[in-house]
Chain A
Amino acid sequence: MALAQIKVTATQARLDAMSLPEIGWSAVARADAQTRVAAMGLPVRRDEYWKYTRPDELTSPNVKSAKASVQDNASIFGSLGCLSIVFEDGVFNAEKSDKLEGTDISLELLSEVNDLDIHWALGLYGALETKGQTPVVRPLAALNTAYAREGLLMHVKGTVAKPISLVYIQNSDNDDVMLHHVIKLDKGASATILESGPAGARCNIVMETEIEDGASLNHVRAQGRNHKRRAATHLFARLNQESQFKSFTLTMNGALTRNEAFIEICGDDSVAHIAGASVGDGEFHHDDTVFVMHEALRGESRQVFKKVLRNGATGVFQGKILVKAGAQKTDGYQISQSLLLDDDSQFLAKPELEIYADDVVCSHGSTSGAIDEEAIFYLNSRGIPKLEATNLLTLAFLAEALSEVEDEDIAEVMERLLEDWLTRRL
């Protein structure tokens, strides 16, 4: 089907504004990706998948400026003894980063290996993204594959105890940052990867992760809390046999966030949990778009998303569990809930189940509600003031999502960030 002219024009305008890095092992993947983008066209409002979120500010050639304060750039996981890899305005900063070495792990930068003729990431770079273009297209991810010049290539060969922490610092008010990470976990390997910080006035971040048999990846991110920034992220994960992937995202502030996840459970007995807690006040549009595809036996997936919205903030959830024929004994769970702290805020949800196997357990639910006034009065009557009572109930509301963070230290960091946000905001 031919693309609408408006789409062709918009897509061409964006592509014309960029240049393709045409050398090295990734050249073919990039050229293919560019072709994909041209064929799909960048998203427009009329696209079904963008019904609730305006894509214009994510697709336009020009970037709206956004400041990041010292506080917005403050270290989040610094106290956890991580191996930190710092990207400043989208560029690797060696001085602020730890040495990229460790046992059982190889860490390289896309910018540094881009001109090599051959690299282990060759079969993965853009490959999981390509797979994730069906059945629904994700043009911004293909755009990223074509043009991203920086990112982490991480190959995990054993058990890596120290979390690998990607720290995004934003100095410039106008940068359009693109990062493309590729993560591969060998059989039985395990690692934790963290992401935090504002990245750029606008950012487009893709993470492709291949998780081999028996391997396990934990992913926790705290997205940039500068108010005006715009972000599109894509998480692609392929799970092989008896593997595990757990991802949690905390979003506080940001004018526009679209977090997509495409999870493919292709090995038997695997577990994928995708969760998020977001809190927004005022100019805040937050969209979680999650697609979990079960193709194997006895897969377990959970999607747990909670949003606290206030002062005209908007929350969006589009979540799908697709159980393919033959993926028997699938256990799929999906919940999306919003707590609306006033009448001006809204939550738009599209939960979907599509099941082609007969022996599965799948459930989904979506709710939107105000704070429980009975509970507030009960707390008040015990001497807890309104504000504190509201904070307690808000944290309680987010608890199910937060409990998806397994590591206690990391969970505590998340909880403290939320508490801080609440006391500053409410």
Chain B
Amino acid sequence: MLKIRNLKVSLEEEEKQILKGVDLTVEAGKVHAIMGPNGSGKSTLSYVLSGRDGYEVTDGSATLLDKDLLDMEPEERAASGLFLAFQYPVEIPGVGNMTFLRTAVNGQRKARGEEEMSAADFLKEVRAKAKSLKIDADMLKRPVNVGFSGGEKKRNEILQMAMLEPKMCILDETDSGLDVDAMKLVAQGVNALRDEGRAFLVITHYQRLLDHIKPDVVHIMVDGRIVKTGGPELALEVENNGYADILSEVM
């Protein structure tokens, strides 16, 4: 599904290398987790994959279903099946959540040469999916993320993911700022989307979320590199001992 080879990324503005050769392969149907201390480059990786400005790829490659991701515009990556649930979802005053969702769904369909979704079908689907995430009608009407609580923003990300039905879902610290109930809702939303043709890359600080979204593979990222890869037990190890042991082990 997603193949990243020796990816090296610097900031465009300053001469600062953030990713120092990332290698990662995520297979269809699997859930991978990336853990790592603050500032290790996890968000940068997710941004570079989704095509945000401000980064320069100096080496390496990233492909989604064998298509070169780095060569595409952000909207093309989305239409090709990539989705990023933002660590900090953006507020967009004046644009209704519904309008936003519908424009996104139909924008992707149009890009793929598919028929647009009718207003009625769209409404039906949005309502059903919103309900399972406990997103009420009012939240759907309000401007995108404006005045949403932290938890509401994250649930809204999952709603977008559910509507867009991407193939490769990257979740950047979707658990941060969530209480236990909100986290369970989010996890349920994610688990409902798990299937053979879809893969997840779950970026998180804590083991907590991984109790609810069970990963197949866990990676540890330190200072712009994946330094260790293992099974779910690796997340527990981090939870119990922090990153210190792993750090000293790899240094």
Contacts and interface: CB of A to CB of B under 8 A. Distances in A.
- A, B: real partners: yes
Interface of A: 372-375, 377-386, 388, 392-393, 395-397, 399-400
B44 to A, nearest CB: 14
Contacts of A379: 92, 100, 103-104
24 contacts: A377-B51, A379-B103, A380-B74, A381-B52, A381-B74, A381-B83, A381-B84, A382-B75, A382-B104, A382-B108, A383-B75, A383-B108, A383-B111, A384-B75, A384-B104, A384-B107, A385-B111, A386-B75, A392-B95, A392-B99, A392-B103, A393-B92, A395-B95, A396-B94
A392 B102 CA distance: 12
Given A383-B111, A384-B75, A377 B94 contact: no
Contacts of B108: 382-383
Interface in B53-75: 53, 73-75
Given A378-B92, A379-B100, A382-B160, A388 B107 contact: yes
Given A386-B75, A392-B95, A378 B89 contact: yes
* Residue of A379, A395, A400 ringed by the most chain B CB atoms within 10 A: A379
B94 A382 contact: no
A396 B94 CA distance: 4
Contacts of A399: 94
B104 to A, nearest CB: 4
B50 A381 contact: yes
Max chain A Cβ within 10 angstroms of own Cβ: one of B78, B94, B104: B94
A374 B95 contact: no
A418 to B, nearest CB: 13
Nearest to B91: A375
Contact of A395 (B75, B94, B107): B94
Nearest to B77: A381
Nearest to A385: B75
Contacts of A393: 92, 94-95
A385 B92 contact: no
Contacts of A396: 92-95, 143
B48 interface: no
B244 interface: no
B164 A383 contact: yes
A383 B50 contact: no
A238 to B, nearest CB: 34
A397 B160 CA distance: 23
B90 interface: yes
Query: Nearest 4 A-B pairs (CB), nearest first?
Result: A396-B94, A383-B108, A383-B78, A380-B74
Contact of B100 (A372, A382, A386, A400): A382
Contacts of B91: 375
B86 interface: yes
Contact of A383 (B92, B107, B143): B107
Interface in B71-130: 73-75, 77-79, 83-84, 86, 89-95, 99-100, 103-105, 107-108, 111
Nearest to A389: B75
B170 to A, nearest CB: 10
Contacts of A386: 73, 75
Given A385-B107, A388-B103, A396-B143, 12 more contacts: A374-B90, A375-B92, A377-B74, A380-B74, A381-B51, A381-B74, A382-B160, A383-B78, A385-B111, A386-B73, A393-B92, A397-B94
Contacts of A385: 73, 75, 107, 111
Contacts of A374: 90
Contacts of B105: 383
B92 A382 contact: no
Contacts of B143: 396
Given A385-B107, A388-B103, A380 B51 contact: yes
A236 B93 CA distance: 34
Residue of B52, B86, B103 with highest tally of chain A CB at under 10 A: B103
A382 B78 contact: yes
A396 B90 CA distance: 15
A305 to B, nearest CB: 16
B155 to A, nearest CB: 16
Nearest to A377: B52
Contacts of A380: 51, 73-75, 78
A381 B94 contact: no
Contact of B53 (A373, A395, A400): A373
B78 A381 contact: yes
Contacts of B84: 381
Contact of B79 (A375, A377, A383): A383
Contacts of B107: 382-385, 388
Of residues A377, A382, A393, which shows the largest number of chain B Cβ atoms within 10 Å of its Cβ? A382
A375 B86 CA distance: 12
Contacts of A388: 103, 107
Given A377-B52, A395-B94, A399-B94, A384 B89 contact: no
B142 to A, nearest CB: 13
A4 B94 CA distance: 49
B232 to A, nearest CB: 29
Contacts of A400: 94
Contacts of A392: 95, 99-100, 103
B104 A377 contact: no
A378 B78 contact: no
A392 B73 CA distance: 18
Nearest to A384: B107
B49 to A, nearest CB: 10
Nearest to A403: B94
A61 B105 CA distance: 56
A377 B103 contact: no
A335 to B, nearest CB: 13
Contacts of A372: 92
Nearest to B108: A383
Query: Most chain-B CB neighbours within 10 Å: which of A372, A377, A380, A400?
Result: A380
